Structure 1
Amino acid sequence: MVEPLKVGLAGLGTVGGSVARLLQKQESNASESNILATRCGRPIRLVAASAKTKGELDALGLDGVRFVDSPSGLARDPEIEAFVELMGGEGDPAKSAIEAALAAGKSVVTANKALLARHGVALAAAAEKAGVSLNFEAAVGGAIPVVKTLREGFAGNSFDRVYGILNGTCNYILSRMESEKLSFGDCLREAQRLGYAEADPTFDVEGFDTAQKIAILASLAFGVQVDPDAVYVEGISSITPEDLEAAAELGYRIKLLGVAVRTESGIEQRVHPTMVPLDRPLARVMGVTNAVTIEPAGFPPITLVGPGAGGAATASAVVADLADIARGVRTMPFGRPVSQLAGSRRAPMQRHEGGYYIRLAAVDRPGTFATIAKHLADEHISLESIVQRRRNGEPHGGSDPDRTQTPAPVILVTYATSEDAVRKALSEIKNRGVIAGNPQVIRIEKN
């Protein structure tokens, strides 16, 4: 009989518990002859686990699984061959436990995007040195097999761009804001009530979670070192129902995208709200679902869509990584030797080129539009469309005695231009006192 792959699991939360139950179900599933063992050529057996308390293990009702009180102790345990880290966090105990496992010559599976974004290069080097696997499919996109697609499915291809919806919380909020005409604050509170958003949602809604994920995808696609500090980041807290309504009228939908793209000045990595044409696959992805579009050089884009979080979805990706280890499949973590990963640096957003949506609160007095037009022209910005919105439901041409005191919402859509030109023009327009408040600026991805 073929010996099973013996696994140690650190972290028994939502994902860890799902992984443990899935592995035990496969081992006891005689009626289906253990599909996992059949596909891998050997069983995969959970033999030991670590958690904050033994009660977490006992509550799962698992048979024959030893409790180890130290994650690093579990990582060094001589009985296990593969170590699964599902504790989370970019530092210890996750980092030291993975380092201990690699030093002991054990393959590692993790879903820890924060750890990989901050220490992925060093951990990949340690895995290379030990001749073992460091697998992390579950770290980006949950059940979407985007890591394997980039690293293995397109092993012979180069890429022009990788971008996608990588945070379900933000996608849920934007979807609800659009469909129910709710404010950002109202949608956020509902997301927290339903468990889609944390008590402190900053990491999600301000784009940092997406930044960690796009940094990992950029490394896989373009061979750069993983570095979340090289990613330009904006969140969704400034988006209003008015922006979403205007986007729909113009033929777009607003999504928080993570984008990694090859440019003449290097690999541009950015996270920000984006106007996506309604006929693109990403525009149709609603709710907590994730999606990633891959643009291989030389042929049309491919979009992968699926659940980006949750116990069952993430556990599926973790077990798929274990299956590769059981089969004896070992791939370099980022698709190439660490020594061949290029340095990563933040591409200056001032050089970014594309179309822009700009919403201004224009002061209703003679010369306002002439001033706006002059400063746009000074920066060689051409406009595709100009829309003057109604003022608090007032029809155009209505008689409001205080019209000159009430700013008029104006929406500008530019042809392709540079970030630097847009920022300079808007700074001059604001300095001239012809707009109230700060302009809303959203980038447009047409291609």
Structure 2
Amino acid sequence: MTSERLMRLAASVKGLGYHPSGWRYPGAATTADLGFYTQMAHLAERGLFDLLFVPDRLAVAMYDSPPGALGRSCAVTDLEPLTLLAALAPVTRHLGLAATVSTTFTEPYHIARSFASLDHISAGRAAWNVVTSTLDEEAHNFGMKGMPAKAERYARAREAVDVVTRLWKSWEADAFVRDTSSGKYFDPDKVHYLDHQGQFFQVRGPLNVPRPPQGRPVIIQAGASPGGRELAAETADVVYTVQNTLEAAQAYYTDVKNRMAAYGRRPDELLVMPGILSVVADTEAEARAKYQAMQENVDPMLGLAHLSLMVGDLSSYDLDGPVPPIPEDARVPSRRRVWTNLARERGLTIRQFFQTIAIANGHLEAVGTPGQIADVMEEWFTEGAADGFNVMSAVAPASLDEFTRYVVPELQRRGLFRTAYERRTLRENLGLN
């Protein structure tokens, strides 16, 4: 098929991959250093991806639940994403660079300055993934006894995004005249103070970085709760989401897009990009055997620890027995619902539960040939469930390499994905105003 509407792809680079024991695979990376990230960026750009996305949290996950799990996870340390992406900017040309920065622990002026700088360094390829953070362990690193209530975090995030976007407008596009004959470097009438006095922030401005090349770096949000969906509808250019069925994805897509009218926005001003983890091989049987081997290689201690963080310690139950009722006071209710619904619908045992969740984190899984994976993506794209996908690598860099070599050409053959980068900036390549 051919279509003027093209699928968007992001490469989610979460440390050494989404498989918690993937670093133990032969040939897998064991250190997430600059060389590793450079390799991932080059693979994504070879595959004509829109952007490289770096998740982040501001604490070390030093959990020992169940006892003995501590020390077995490779997902404990990582590089600070803005510093990392500034280093990747000179070794890439087209790839968007998306960093996660929390509004709960970062002042808007810092955020605006950092992303405006990254946008200049990358010639217009910066994106900010707005998060409010969730873990008390993060709060403990910033002089707080615990996380503020969710409603307060979202109110602070909404105000922060407003301040940041207005700071990016401090300088008009033609403010810098640089007239050597008159000695006038900039036009004072084209630089603006903010004088913001809000509930959480007081910011005078102006920003001490010129207007970003994109005007406004791309804003990403991962709204799942009603408050998160509202924030995404109001402020985001891209929204990441966790859905694992077509029906749930369609419902989410419609809900978020319908909320936009209240903010004077059109549905095409927001791209919905669910996460997808694919396992590809020449035949379906080979792909399923490959995926089954991945599941069986999840360290049970890590699998239980992964569940413990979100739904509680299940280590006292029979691993090959049914998943027990999940308490209502779990840390992240929206993600908990996705997980428990998945376990209930599939009738999973605890072992099957963590084998599935520990790899894909509750996101869409596509296992099969390149054509079968493209079938799934095409159906979601054409049936009102997605504008693109956030591609998650089970084992890095192997999974991303396989996706770019086998799945991307199939998407291109169907006219669903670009064959060359169209424009200069990330915003332009995403088709955003």
- For Structure 1 versus Structure 2, the TM-score category normalised by the shorter chain is under 0.3
Normalising by structure 2, we get a TM-score of 0.28
Query: Which protein is bigger by CA-based radius of gyration?
Result: 1
Greater strand share, structure number: 1
